[in-house]
A = this chain, B = another copy of it.
Amino acid sequence: MYTLIVYDVEEKKVAKVNKFLKTYLNWVQNSVFEGELTDAQLNRIISWIKAHLDLEIDSVMIYTARSEKWLSKKIIGVEKNSTNNIL
């Protein structure tokens, strides 16, 4: 499914979270990743987040759409990073 992940975590964890999410998704903006995931991949990401972040302090929002056709995307200003799966 098409997935968008937006996180807000303590500064010291940002590099670790980015490095992990880059193995599954495309980085599109400061603290935002997107791309196509299988259910198994999404479950792996959720498990990693629960294991490595402080759920009392950090926050991760995961939006999923069954198909990327159901989402449209517009960028105004700088495109921080283009994805292979541009919407």
**Chain A contacts to B: CB under 8 angstroms:** 4, 6, 8, 28-32, 46, 49-50, 53-66, 70-80, 87
Contact = CB atoms under 8 A, between A and B. Distances in A.
A45 to B, nearest CB: 9
B32 A60 contact: no
Contact of A60 (B49, B53, B77): B77
Copies of the protein in its oligomer: 2
Given A29-B8, A30-B8, A32-B6, A76 B64 contact: no
B71 A59 contact: no
20 contacts: A6-B6, A6-B29, A8-B29, A8-B30, A8-B80, A29-B61, A46-B76, A50-B76, A56-B78, A57-B77, A57-B78, A58-B77, A58-B78, A59-B76, A63-B73, A64-B72, A64-B73, A65-B70, A65-B71, A65-B72
